Chain A
């Protein structure tokens, strides 16, 4: 089976943590709300924030909607889970995206695993 990257929301991070899941590469959509050097904050609609662990060549911009593909990882200092960014796709203005649809996609893809992820 080729590599699969399930679409998730911040509340699903724990299910893809290396300690509990065999595959921990995920896809998540959100708005970049802060950048601090090696880390950044991705805000996922009304579903909370995720800390991104950035690569040195990451070119994220605050205020843009991005889809991140990355691995779920522990944050330094035991601050919970974050995502180590492997790649990101910029989708422009967050206002052009109906985040509600994405939430439904996440629900549908996990409910009907047989056609999405298995």
Chain B
């Protein structure tokens, strides 16, 4: 009988610890979906585009371990080369240079592309050599060459937009490498979901549990500490035992237990009322 519980608890522990790998938090399960379901537009620097990795050929590009569908960046136009089917721009944002291809839409090209040597633009927007442009598109590669398949290349006229873009790119980079803002200091809005979703993995398991715990009720904390310190076997402690040891009504213990269970810091073992700490 004990053997069964041992198996069960080790299963529970293992299941809780694994499942989500750091850095994999926003890959869809199984990784079967491609660009189609990922409609995000991520602010980046040219350097990030050049550094983007591809786990295997034809896979979506990844930056900071997260799949990127579309990217947005701003930089100076260093070269414009117009061909019959596309216009290729060389964009330099100070962090690197990348080629951007904008396919010419034949329906709009007819009425817009009247001046030789000028880029076909939509309406009055005209890109100038060494002027700034705002590009959004997706990362492509052809042979060993990386380029941007652009959906839109427009001139940029406000310098604040350029600067805030660089700051946004930094924020998003930090989001993916360090987790959401506010999760670093313990407590506050760090809800139990962190532990459940694996977001806490970045910080080590212990910190993650403390973080989840910080936002919980006093009773929940007491229960957690009791489970941590009280001698017990693999199946943990029964709710009634906890209630009597802490001298707290069973209903309150049940409610606090729900909290802890929901956050994934404890798990139920032999039945719904017996809990043990989920160790990573």
Contact = CB atoms under 8 A, between A and B. Distances in A.
A97 B166 contact: no
Nearest to A98: B160
A21 to B, nearest CB: 16
B170 A108 contact: yes
A117 B158 CA distance: 23
Interface in B150-190: 158-160, 163-164, 166-167, 169-170, 173-174
B201 interface: no
B66 to A, nearest CB: 13
Interface residues of B, number: 26
Contacts of A4: 47, 94-96
Given A89-B76, A91-B159, A115-B45, A6 B130 contact: no
A97 B94 CA distance: 19
A61 B202 CA distance: 51
A6 B170 contact: no
A27 B94 contact: yes
A38 interface: no
Interface in A63-95: 65, 67, 87, 89, 91
Nearest to A25: B94
B97 interface: yes
Contacts of A7: 94
Interface string A102-118: 10110011001001111
A67 B45 CA distance: 18
B47 A116 contact: yes
A2 interface: yes
Given A89-B76, A112-B174, A3 B45 contact: no
B170 A97 contact: no
A116 B167 contact: no
Contacts of B47: 4, 115-118
Contact of A2 (B96, B130, B159): B96
